[in-house]
Amino acid sequence: MQGNKVIGEAAIRTGCRFYAGYPITPQNELPEYMAESMCQVKGGVFIQSESEIAAIHMVAGASAAGARAMTSSSSPGISLKQEGISSMAACELPGVIVNMMRGGPGLGNISPAQGDYFQATRGGGHGDYRTIVLAPASGQELADLTMDAFDLADEYRMPVMILADGMMGQMMEPVVFKEPKPRQYRERYVLKGAGAGKSRFIRGLILDPRAMEEHNWKLARKYEVIAQKETRHEAFNTEDAQLIVTAYGTAARIAKGAIKRLHDAGLKVGLFRPITLWPFPSRELQEISERTDNFLVFELSTGQMIEDVHLALCGRGYVNFYGRPGGVVPTPVELAHVIARQYSKKDRHHE
Amino acid sequence: MLVKTIFCGFGGQGVLMMGHSLAHGAMMEGYQVTYLPAYGAEVRGGTANCTVAVGDEEIASPIASEPNYLVVMNTPSLYTFQNRVAPGGSLFLNSSIIEARPSRKDVDVYEIPCIEIAEKMGNPRAANVVMMGAFLKKTALVSPEVYLKSLETIMGSKKKMIADANRAAFAAGYELLKEYMENGCQANLGTIR
């Protein structure tokens, strides 16, 4: 099944009943799939909105009314949505945002790239907030993480982003959909219309600085819990590795291909793949740095995740970088050459 | 086992369909597969290509640095991709419209006049299926029955006529390569007219 459609199917299976979006390559198959599938499920709503900004605010509205809601776009469209995402974070509204990154900045191109790492992991919009960022690296993970994204969004009442690119969106792989968990959320905030109970309201505008400060700290405490509890990563061949490649998403797939080649040639190279980009699996990377001190960060950008690697390692080890921004996707053989160079350099460090 | 194939040609020749159907068939055979279409701002008549990886364990990278097989449907793609094929690999060439021949001497070349064969059968659109018949005879990645079933699944075709046409086209390609292989010749087989 094609990556973009996997996300759509997983979302519907896990109870997403509201989707709003505006077309942009390379994620168009997702709204296409939603347009077809939403009308086949009870209570499903699909809206092709007039703009990206409208779409994210529709999602916020549906979320406030208690629906599992999702929107998707690609880099420039995600920039437009930031105001809405910030607002959802402030109002503590759950929701899932899919970003199928393209080469940038500006309109860029439609090829696979990873230049939106900073935007995704540092909040993206204005204000003191975070979004959980999940980075799938296979068709199967697109399915699993989409389902998890809705659960995390409900559990912490915040927007969750799925960060992938055109390669993940276009590639087809066999997928098995897991059984979705029953939805668990605290219904207290949901706006369902005036009944006999107390009136409720949701707002992001808090004029009293003390109240605003308290709200900011409340969000910060929530983010602290997430940073403690929700990190995920994959470690591949890291036990006796002399060099660790750190990469996520599409880049990690290429790295894995390169590492398998090098393994056959007798080089001990491992892969550390963050699955949650925020919270970044810093502790897990630190643990690995106790066994090996040679790191190569590989990204389809000019170097963004490398900052989190530096923060996690606190100056320990040698950290080098290989980046291919703008939509150029190197082959595993090309990357294997780069890794092999770095691998042999390390021996010189020790002499 | 890990086998990678690149299909390339003009948009509209069914290049992506060839890859998609191979990937689906291999999945039905129980292999791990990835299908990666090259994604550009392509138009009909522009170039298209896709990469299919078939393996019996998890496929690390869906990108092919050195594909084992290359299926070329037009001349520009021959020049673009011929150097990528792994030494000892195979190259399937649409000899109906490609006049040039690969400069590589370390790969097996199979010249398949797939358009002519398809035209002869009264269904020129099935040229890609003819090619798939030849491809699967050589590579044996998917059995013919499983492949044809996958093709029907993907096409979603309820028309028996189309399914039958594809079946016949596939068989023609399959038989042609069988003949090539039995006669022990590979390159410069000439075209069937």
Give the torsion through C-alpha atoms of B121, B122, B123, B129, to 10 deg: 0
CB contact under 8 A, A167 and B20: no
Residue of B nearest to A256 (CA): B60
State which amino acid sits at residue A106: G
Expressed as residue numbers, the domain containing B11 is 2-182
Total domains, chain B: 1
3-state secondary structure of B128: helix
Helical pair B127-139 and B144-155, crossing angle rounded to 10 deg: 150
CB pairs under 8 A between A and B: 59
Interface test with A, best of B33, B49, B65 (most A CBs within 10 A): B65
pLDDT at B192: 38
d(CA B66, CA B19): 17
Contact criterion met (CB below 8 Å) for A150 and A68: yes
- Is position B58 within any domain? yes
- Interface residue ranges in chain A relative to chain B, Cβ cutoff 8 Å: 25-26, 110-111, 166-167, 170-174, 253-254, 256-260, 329, 331-334
- Is position B40 within any domain? yes
- Is position B157 within any domain? yes
Q: Which residues of A touch B20 (CB under 8 A)?
A: 172
- Read off the pLDDT of residues B36-57 as tens digits, 9 standing for 90 and up: 998 666 566 678 999 999 999 9
Q: Which residue, among A115, A105, A67, A63, has the nearest Cα to A87 in the 3D structure?
A: A63
pLDDT at B108 over 60: yes
- Is position B189 within any domain? no
CB contact under 8 A, B63 and A332: yes
Q: What is the pLDDT along chain A (351 residues), one digit of tens a residue?
A: 999 999 999 999 999 999 999 999 899 999 999 999 999 999 999 999 999 999 999 999 999 999 999 999 999 999 999 999 999 999 999 999 999 999 989 999 999 999 999 999 998 999 999 999 999 999 999 999 999 999 999 999 999 999 999 999 999 999 999 999 999 888 888 988 767 778 888 999 999 999 999 999 999 999 999 999 999 999 999 999 999 999 999 999 999 999 999 999 999 999 999 999 999 999 999 999 999 999 999 999 999 999 999 999 999 999 999 999 999 999 999 999 999 999 987 655 554
- Is position B51 within any domain? yes
- Is position B193 within any domain? no
Q: Does B63 touch chain A (CB under 8 A)?
A: yes
- Is position B29 within any domain? yes
CATH number at residue B43: 3.40.920.10
CB contact under 8 A, B61 and A258: yes
Contact criterion met (CB below 8 Å) for A21 and A62: no
- Is position B16 within any domain? yes
Of A25, A170, A253, the CB nearest to B61: A253
Interface test with A, best of B61, B68, B81, B154 (most A CBs within 10 A): B61
Q: How far is CA B118 from CA B92, B127, B135, in A?
A: 16, 5, 15
Q: How far is CA B18 from CA B22, B69, B71, B101, in A?
A: 6, 13, 9, 22
pLDDT at B191 over 80: no
- Read off the tokens for B59: 């496929």
pLDDT at B188: 44
3-state secondary structure of B176: helix
- Domains defined along chain A, listed by start: 3-229 (3.40.50.970), 234-350 (3.40.50.920)
